[in-house]
């Protein structure tokens, strides 16, 4: 098979949102494994690190003062308060990657997605993942077992709030089966990479085709 022709393009921002427990984190991890050109945006957060989480890999864990400083210096592309804690997306890493044609995966909520849309709509591809039903969602939150019963109850009550924002997203995928859901999100990413407006090198490429060079 002939080697692929790489046409210069701008990177895209793939956002995955869902209520906690809908399987978004698993989908995100698998996608990152499948696609070496996809990079996770590591958020900053003021919440406590959970067992198994690693600073710099899952989040940058910072205190409220450092978070405020980042806002004041305009170092966050978006930020929001979710479940009593603050979360935000560091700007610099994202902008550098987009400019060199690398794609970025975001695991952020609807508030962050709205802000990204306002700031960079043409780079944004937003996907909302729905659970197959609410009982399944509760079961997943319990079996995850990293949070207290109180936190689980709070997340359940927040789930329907989060779900109410489904219609603001470009794509909606039901996670009734992890493999199927992953395949659908992967298909979205592959198709979105081919959108004409991202292909900065297309004009040159077509010109060279027509000129026979
Ligand atoms: P968790 O504390 O379970 O890791 O995340 C709680 C929620 O915060 C999830 O819905 C997650 O998508 C969202 N979240 C994580 N990082 C960010 C961020 O940088 N910005 C926004 N807006 N939401 C985030």
> Could you tell me which residues come within 8 angstroms of residue 123 by beta carbon, excluding any fewer than 6 positions away?
10, 11, 12, 13, 98
pLDDT at 188 over 90: yes
Q: Which pLDDT score, from 0 to 100, does residue 95 have?
A: 95
Instruction: Check residue 211 and give its pLDDT.
Output: 95
Task: Please choose, from the candidates 137, 172, 176, the residue with its C-alpha nearest in 3D space to the C-alpha of residue 157.
Answer: 137
Residue 103 near residue 41, CB atoms below 8 Å: no
Distance (angstroms) between ligand 1 centre and the Cα of 48 equals 13
User: What is the spatial distance between Cα 120 and Cα 166, in angstroms, rounded to a whole number?
Assistant: 19
Tokens representing 3 are: 């080697």
CATH 3.40.50.720 fits 13-41+101-207, yes or no: no
Whether 87 and 58 have beta carbons less than 8 Å apart is answered as no
Report the pLDDT value the prediction gives residue 145, as an integer from 0 to 100.
57
d(CA 82, ligand 1 centre) in Å: 7
CB 189 within 8 A of CB 28: no
Ligand 1, atom 19, lies closest to the CA of 88
CA atoms within 13 A on the CB side of 142: 7
Atom 2 (ligand 1): residue with closest C-alpha? 47
Give every CB contact of residue 84 below 8 A, 6+ residues apart in sequence.
none
pTM higher than 0.85 for the full model?
yes
Least confident interval from 143-152, 183-192, 203-212: 143-152
DSSP letter for each residue of 93-132:
HHHHHHHTT-EEEEE--HHHHHHHHHHHGGGEEEEEEE-S
What is the C-alpha separation between 129 and 30, in angstroms, rounded?
15
| Closest residue to atom 16 of ligand 1, CA basis | 108
pLDDT reading at 187 higher than 60 = yes
Atom number of ligand 1 nearest to Cα 58: 4
CA–CA separation, 137 and 142 (whole Å): 9
Token pair recorded at residue 95: 């902008």
Dist. CA 206–CA 213, nearest whole Å: 10
The pocket around ligand 1, CB under 6 angstroms, is made up of 20, 43, 47, 78, 80, 82, 87-89, 107-109, 111-112
Give pLDDT tens digits for 10-69. 999 999 999 988 889 999 999 999 999 999 999 999 999 999 999 999 999 999 999 999
Ramachandran bin of 21, using left for φ above 0, alpha for ψ from -120 to 50, beta for the remaining angles: left
* pLDDT tens digits, 97-149: 999 999 999 999 999 999 999 999 999 999 999 999 988 888 888 776 566 78
Digit-coded pLDDT (tens) for 142-176: 776 566 788 888 888 888 899 999 999 999 999 99
- Check: CB of residue 89 under 8 Å from CB of residue 107: no
Transcribe 28-80 into DSSP letters. HHHHHHH-TTEEE---EE-SPPPTT--BTTTBEE--HHHHHHHHHTT-EEEEE
Atom of ligand 1 nearest to the CA of 43: 19
Write down the domain spans for the chain: 13-41+101-207
């Amino acid at each position: 098979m002939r080697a692929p022709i790489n046409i210069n393009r701008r990177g895209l921002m793939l956002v995955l949102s869902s209520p906690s427990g809908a399987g978004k984190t698993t989908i995100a991890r698998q996608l990152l494994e499948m696609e070496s050109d996809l990079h996770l945006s590591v958020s900053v957060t003021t919440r406590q690190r959970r067992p198994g989480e690693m600073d710099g890999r899952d989040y940058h864990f910072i205190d409220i003062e450092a978070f405020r400083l980042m806002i004041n210096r305009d170092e966050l592309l978006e930020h929001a308060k979710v479940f009593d804690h603050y979360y935000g997306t560091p700007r610099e890493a994202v902008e550098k990657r987009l400019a060199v044609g690398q794609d970025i995966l975001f695991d952020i909520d609807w508030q962050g997605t709205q802000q990204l849309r306002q700031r960079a709509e043409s780079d944004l591809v937003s996907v909302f993942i729905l659970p197959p039903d609410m009982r399944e969602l509760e079961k997943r939150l319990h079996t995850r077992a990293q949070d207290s019963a109180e936190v689980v109850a709070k997340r359940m009550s927040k789930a329907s709030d989060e779900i109410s924002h489904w219609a603001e997203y470009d794509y909606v995928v039901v996670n009734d089966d992890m493999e199927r859901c992953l395949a659908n999100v992967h298909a979205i990413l592959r198709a979105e990479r081919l959108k004409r407006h991202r292909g900065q090198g297309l004009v040159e490429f077509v010109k060279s085709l027509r000129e026979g060079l």
